[in-house]
Amino acid sequence: MGQILIQAEGVSKSYISGRETIRVLHGLNLTLHSGEAVAVVGPSGSGKSTLLNLFNGLLRPDSGRLQLFGADLASMNGRDLAALRRSRIATLFQDGNLIPTLNVARNLAFRRHLAGRGDGDDEVLLEALEIAAMAGRYPDQLSGGQRQRAALACAFATAPELILADEPTGSLDIHNAERVMQLFFDRVQAGHLSALIVTHNLQLARRCDRVLELVDGALRTWH
Ligand SMILES: Nc1ncnc2c1ncn2[C@@H]1O[C@H](COP(=O)(O)OP(=O)(O)OP(=O)(O)O)[C@@H](O)[C@H]1O
Ligand SMILES: [Mg+2]
* 117-142: b (≥16 Cβ within 10 Å) or e: eeebebeebbebbebbebbebbbeeb
The DSSP result for 24-46, as a single string, is EEEEEEEEEETT-EEEEE--TTS
Beta strands in the chain (DSSP E): 4-17, 20-33, 37-41, 63-68, 71-72, 89-92, 162-166, 194-198, 210-215, 218-221
Cβ-proximal residues to 78 (8 Å cutoff; 6+ apart), any chain:
none
* pLDDT tier at 145, thresholds 50, 70, 90: very high
If you average pLDDT over residues 182-204, what whole number do you get?
93
Instruction: Select 4-221's CATH number: 3.40.50.300, 3.40.50.10740, 3.30.2320.80, 2.50.20.10.
Output: 3.40.50.300
pTM: 0.95
Q: Is 17 in the pocket of ligand 1 (CB under 6 A)?
A: yes
Q: For ligand 1, is residue 75 a contact (CB within 6 Å)?
A: no
pLDDT, one tens digit per residue, over 40-84 is 999 999 999 999 999 999 999 999 999 999 999 999 999 999 999
**Cα 8 to middle of ligand 2, angstroms:** 19
From CA 35, how far away is CA 189, in angstroms rounded? 8
Residue 154 has φ and ψ, to the nearest 5°, of: -60, -45
Residue 1 has pLDDT above 80, yes or no: no
How far is residue 200's CA from residue 67's CA, in Å, rounded to a whole number?
A: 27
Selection from 130, 136, 141 nearest residue 108 by Cα: 136
The residue extents of the domains of the chain are 4-221
Q: Which string of DSSP letters, residue by residue, matches 129-161? A: TT-GGGTTS-GGGS-HHHHHHHHHHHHHHT--S
User: Does pLDDT of 119 surpass 90?
Assistant: no
pLDDT band at 223 (very low <50, low <70, confident <90, very high): confident
pLDDT above 70 coverage of the chain, percent: 100
Q: Tell me: the pLDDT tens digits for 77-113?
A: 999 999 999 999 999 998 788 999 999 999 999 999 9
- 124 contacts 116 by C-beta, under 8 angstroms: no
Give the pLDDT band (50/70/90) at residue 121: confident
At 96 the pLDDT is 80
CB 172 within 8 A of CB 181: no
With bands split at pLDDT 50, 70 and 90, how would you rate the model's confidence at 191? Answer: confident
Residue 124 has pLDDT above 90, yes or no: yes
Q: Given the CA of residue 214, which atom of ligand 1 is nearest to it?
A: 21
DSSP annotation of 200 reads S
Cβ(201)–Cβ(10) below 8 Å: no
Ligand 2 centroid–CA 45 distance in Å is 7
CA R_g for the chain: 17
> From ligand 2's centre to the CA of 118, what distance in Å?
32
Contact, 157 vs 117, CB < 8 A? yes
Is the Cβ atom of 95 under 6 angstroms away from ligand 1? no
